[in-house]
Structure 1
Amino acid sequence: METTKVQSEGGLNVTLTIRLLMHGKEVGSIIGKKGETVKKMREESGARINISEGNCPERIVTITGPTDTIFKAFAMIAYKFEEDIINSMSNSPATSKPPVTLRLVVPASQCGSLIGKGGSKIKEMRESTGAQVQVAGDMLPNSTERAVTISGTPEAIIQCVKQICVVMLESPPKGATIPYRPKPASTPVIFSGGQAYTIQGQYAIPHPDQLTKLHQLAMQQTPFTPLGQTTPAFPGLDASPPASTHELTIPNDLIGCIIGRQGTKINEIRQMSGAQIKIANAMEGSSERQITITGTPANISLAQYLINARFRDVAAMWNDPSSMTTS
């Protein structure tokens, strides 16, 4: 069957599929309360908008339809992201508005056409639309696709997407494409005290694919440890191993970054690890404070990991003041 090609603004009016890679927060913004935002986008653009299964830090948003409906859907997404940026800026001292950024997932066999000979095509796209366009050098894991990042004003992004669609229609993918599928939130794997963990939403989950032998005690853990819950997560399973205690000594001048403003950080660590954490009062003449962590070996390991991670974050912020978004 032959596809009828109708010339329309910015490209050919044929059915096309564009895949976008988004973080969970961005996907939440697109879905909206009770799915209202995505429903409105589908209705007003006329494009099919599908979102890959959850439980992944990254999700794939697939937009399919005639090119004019795709451009409308992209416009709605770009303006929604701009609105999110404006809303987030109302609580921050920053004065310059950061650009809207979208990441497309494109078969690697089409990336050469997007870049053009000696980078001529990508240069032309940047100059004619005012958007920044970057094609990743490496393919996305376990796929034959690359990420193409577009950033700029919503208007620049829409013009740029139109040009990318034209290139993709003129240069179809060669050979079979292995699509990128984001992995479930099993990364990063955290190794701590011989036990590996993943953080999934509100759970600290002992990780199954371990490279090191699990602690015998940790093996007796119930598979899920919901926040602050000491009874087994599943009825019928044995209770957690007996509680033990671990002590840490932390310099006085660093204790603040562990406690956080009004105790927010320490409470977060308590919740995520399920451990009890007590910070001793400052002793006269001592430059250090004692921290006592009580819980199962797995809870203690996770609490230690989260405390170390907090120090790493703070050190990174000191080294790079521009990254100071959390305190």
Structure 2
Amino acid sequence: MEPSKVQSEGGLNVTLTIRLLMHGKEVGSIIGKKGETVKKMREESGARINISEGNCPERIVTITGPTDAIFKAFAMIAYKFEEDIINSMSNSPATSKPPVTLRLVVPASQCGSLIGKGGSKIKEMRESTGAQVQVAGDMLPNSTERAVTISGTPEAIIQCVKQICVVMLESPPKGATIPYRPKPASTPVIFSGGQAYTIQGQYAIPHPDLYCPSNPQQLTKLHQLAMQQTPFTPLGQTTPAFPGLDASPPASTHELTIPNDLIGCIIGRQGTKINEIRQMSGAQIKIANAMEGSSERQITITGTPANISLAQYLINARFRDVAAMWNDPSSMTTS
């Protein structure tokens, strides 16, 4: 967004818009009971704070105002998240306090300026603020925006946001930006004994309309594999998601075993799916040849821990996509 500039007594007062990507639980914390928390944040910071509508697992929080109002709003959000972390720790045995994490949504055309030549700008931000800053390598789906993840103490995050705002003002977006819009949540489905169930509240309700293939055991097996989801948490890693900035951790290897009759959905037509997973994760993925008398195939994933984690996540996501396609036969032609 092109910033508008208004001259004020204190020098240049600039109006800016910053977009944040939040999970539903985080949004609930920001809104508060009967909207009291967000109302207080708006009043005390002087910033406009808008939250995207919709039944989505992710929501966009837009903060607009003069830069000092934006910093106040960010400070209130960061301290609120720290308070949530402290409250959740009182019920858990964890001893070390995890950092506060915020995800900014930034036009891809501005990300080069955030990273700087050879990663110099992002390195300077990390060193001067003490926050971890990572720019995602890929654009968010159906958009020309990237996620920029900041984690650290609330104080470090506030300093980091100030520096990011300066860069965004000095390097406005080039060309049109297609904003990221989160997709609505789909109803979770569980398969058991060839019967499909949808989750409503705490209950599993039989769903007669869902398509079940001729082999219910295969679908159950597919669903079980999809549920073995490896938590994808590259935020804690020190290597940035943008390649070539810091030295990478040493490569390691992880092995998966997948039934022969399901290997096709991972490979895809003429290897398209497995090549996509290799490209997105940055990991090397080798699928062993079928062994005589064995009903399973070995998959070997090699790369950094973050590459391996992302590859596993994408493989499990592929199982879920195929399970969803089997529920909706009209979409099967696209796989």
* TM range, smaller chain: 0.5 to 0.7
Instruction: Tell me how far 1:201 sits from its aligned partner.
Output: 5.5
User: Does the 8 Å contact 1:192/1:305 carry over to 2?
Assistant: no
User: Does the 8 Å contact 1:103/1:150 carry over to 2?
Assistant: yes
Instruction: Tell me how far 1:54 sits from its aligned partner.
Output: 3.2
Provide closer, same or farther for how the CA distance between residues 256 and 54 of structure 1 changes in structure 2, counting only shifts above 3 A: same
Instruction: Tell me how far 1:200 sits from its aligned partner.
Output: 6.7
User: Does the 8 Å contact 2:131/2:152 carry over to 1?
Assistant: yes
Question: Scaled by the length of structure 1, what TM-score is found?
Answer: 0.59
Q: Deviations over 1:41-91 (max 9, x none)?
A: 000000000001131111110001111100000000000000000111111
User: Does the 8 Å contact 2:119/2:245 carry over to 1?
Assistant: no
Provide closer, same or farther for how the CA distance between residues 232 and 40 of structure 1 changes in structure 2, counting only shifts above 3 A: closer
SS in 2 for 1:160: helix
Instruction: Tell me how far 1:147 sits from its aligned partner.
Output: 0.5
Provide closer, same or farther for how the CA distance between residues 261 and 170 of structure 1 changes in structure 2, counting only shifts above 3 A: closer
Instruction: Tell me how far 1:214 sits from its aligned partner.
Output: 17
Q: Structure 2: how far apart are the matches of 1:237 and 1:109?
A: 18
- Name the counterpart of 2:292: 284
**RMSD, aligned α-carbons:** 18.0
Instruction: Tell me how far 1:13 sits from its aligned partner.
Output: 2.7
SS in 2 for 1:325: helix
Instruction: Tell me how far 1:186 sits from its aligned partner.
Output: 1.4
Q: Structure 2: how far apart are the matches of 1:81 and 1:322?
A: 42
List 4+ stretches of structure 1 deviating above 3 A. 1-12, 187-327
Q: Deviations over 1:264-292 (max 9, x none)?
A: 99999999999999999999999999999
- Name the counterpart of 2:213: none
SS in 1 for 2:314: helix
Instruction: Tell me how far 1:25 sits from its aligned partner.
Output: 0.5
Question: Scaled by the length of structure 2, what TM-score is found?
Answer: 0.58
User: Does the 8 Å contact 1:220/1:241 carry over to 2?
Assistant: no
User: Does the 8 Å contact 2:137/2:243 carry over to 1?
Assistant: no
- Name the counterpart of 1:298: 306
Provide closer, same or farther for how the CA distance between residues 26 and 237 of structure 1 changes in structure 2, counting only shifts above 3 A: closer
Q: Structure 2: how far apart are the matches of 1:240 and 1:133?
A: 16
User: Does the 8 Å contact 2:137/2:242 carry over to 1?
Assistant: no
Q: Deviations over 1:174-219 (max 9, x none)?
A: 1111111111101766666777776576686899999999999999
Q: Structure 2: how far apart are the matches of 1:280 and 1:242?
A: 24
Provide closer, same or farther for how the CA distance between residues 275 and 25 of structure 1 changes in structure 2, counting only shifts above 3 A: farther
SS in 1 for 2:255: strand
Q: Which structure has the larger Rg over C-alpha atoms? A: 1
Instruction: Tell me how far 1:6 sits from its aligned partner.
Output: 6.7
User: Does the 8 Å contact 1:64/1:70 carry over to 2?
Assistant: yes
Provide closer, same or farther for how the CA distance between residues 286 and 231 of structure 1 changes in structure 2, counting only shifts above 3 A: same
SS in 1 for 2:220: coil
Moved more, 149-158 or 85-94: 85-94
Provide closer, same or farther for how the CA distance between residues 44 and 136 of structure 1 changes in structure 2, counting only shifts above 3 A: same
Moved more, 182-191 or 141-150: 182-191
**Structure 2 runs not aligned, ≥5 long:** 210-217
User: Does the 8 Å contact 1:196/1:207 carry over to 2?
Assistant: yes
- Name the counterpart of 1:35: 35
Q: Structure 2: how far apart are the matches of 1:264 and 1:144?
A: 24
Moved more, 121-130 or 296-305: 296-305
User: Does the 8 Å contact 2:227/2:316 carry over to 1?
Assistant: no
Moved more, 210-219 or 106-115: 210-219
Provide closer, same or farther for how the CA distance between residues 309 and 178 of structure 1 changes in structure 2, counting only shifts above 3 A: closer
**Structure 1 runs not aligned, ≥5 long:** none
Provide closer, same or farther for how the CA distance between residues 132 and 192 of structure 1 changes in structure 2, counting only shifts above 3 A: same
User: Does the 8 Å contact 1:105/1:145 carry over to 2?
Assistant: yes
Provide closer, same or farther for how the CA distance between residues 191 and 238 of structure 1 changes in structure 2, counting only shifts above 3 A: farther
Provide closer, same or farther for how the CA distance between residues 7 and 298 of structure 1 changes in structure 2, counting only shifts above 3 A: closer
User: Does the 8 Å contact 1:202/1:226 carry over to 2?
Assistant: no
User: Does the 8 Å contact 1:192/1:302 carry over to 2?
Assistant: no
Provide closer, same or farther for how the CA distance between residues 321 and 117 of structure 1 changes in structure 2, counting only shifts above 3 A: farther
User: Does the 8 Å contact 2:134/2:241 carry over to 1?
Assistant: no
Aligned length: 327
